[in-house]
Amino acid sequence: MVLDSFTLDGSAAIVTGAGRGLGAAIAVGLAQAGADVVISARTESDLAEVVAQIEAVGKRAVSVPLDFATDDPARLVAAAVEAFGRLDIVVNNVGGAMPKPFLDTRVKDLERAFSFNVGTAHALSLAAVPVMLESGGGSIINITSSMGRLAGRAFLAYGTAKAALAHYTRLAAEDLAPRIRVNAIAPGSILTSALSYVADNDAMRAEIESNTPMRRIGSPDEIAATAVYLASPAAGYVTGKIIEVDGGLEAPNVALPIPDL
């Protein structure tokens, strides 16, 4: 049956930035589909709640508090091998950068954004690929952003880094085919803690919703469902692609209050 191709039974995954938001939803979604999961974030207390959710669906979870700025991501791979004996799925979710006007964006801001969004993905993937090959192959999923293709004020560092991650995805897919598939998800406005200020601001929420073709803000579960698809045999002929889960955006759906120069 077609539905059988969406299951991840017997698989082992790593999800970074999994203490809350999209990472937590993806980790739980992969577990619901049948995967055991190593989860990572900087804050150990956040991870404990996600572990409980994964175990509640009958799967194994290992939490590894880790700061990509100072720690070796190979620790996550070692944890997967020790706990599960294999590694099949890597979700590079950690990343981000604060909006800044052009004249306030220094070269070091661009460098930090690239390192945090692209460098971290490569560091973990570099450690993971040899083990994934030993396990028979697998799927790497990078979390980029709609701002990697849309132009909005104050997103110079963030948008450039996410655009780089999108093309990194295409290039890595070429290098790792056919045994490891590499794809990315480009979310739009998703109601996580990072967007919590919108939930309490009726005017801003209305602006975002009215400027989104689907007329609503997305759910973390919709990103998790996309990750399950990309990780599963159902996407076995999909690699080097950026899946846009953004409600149909063709322009930013909110404008930051940045004055003209």
Query: Looking at the annotation, which residues are catalytic?
Result: 158
Using DSSP bridges, classify how beta strands 89-92 and 138-143 pair: parallel, antiparallel or unpaired.
parallel
Report the sign of the C-alpha dihedral through residues 147, 14, 243, 172, in that order. positive
Tokens for 12, please give them. 């082992």
Q: How many Å apart are CA 86 and CA 79, to the nearest integer?
A: 10
Helical (H) or strand (E) element with 227: helix 220-231
Q: How many Å apart are CA 246 and CA 17, to the nearest integer?
A: 20
Cβ–Cβ < 8 Å for 239, 169: no
Residues 6+ apart with CB under 8 A from 256: 99, 152, 153, 154
Helical (H) or strand (E) element with 13: strand 12-15
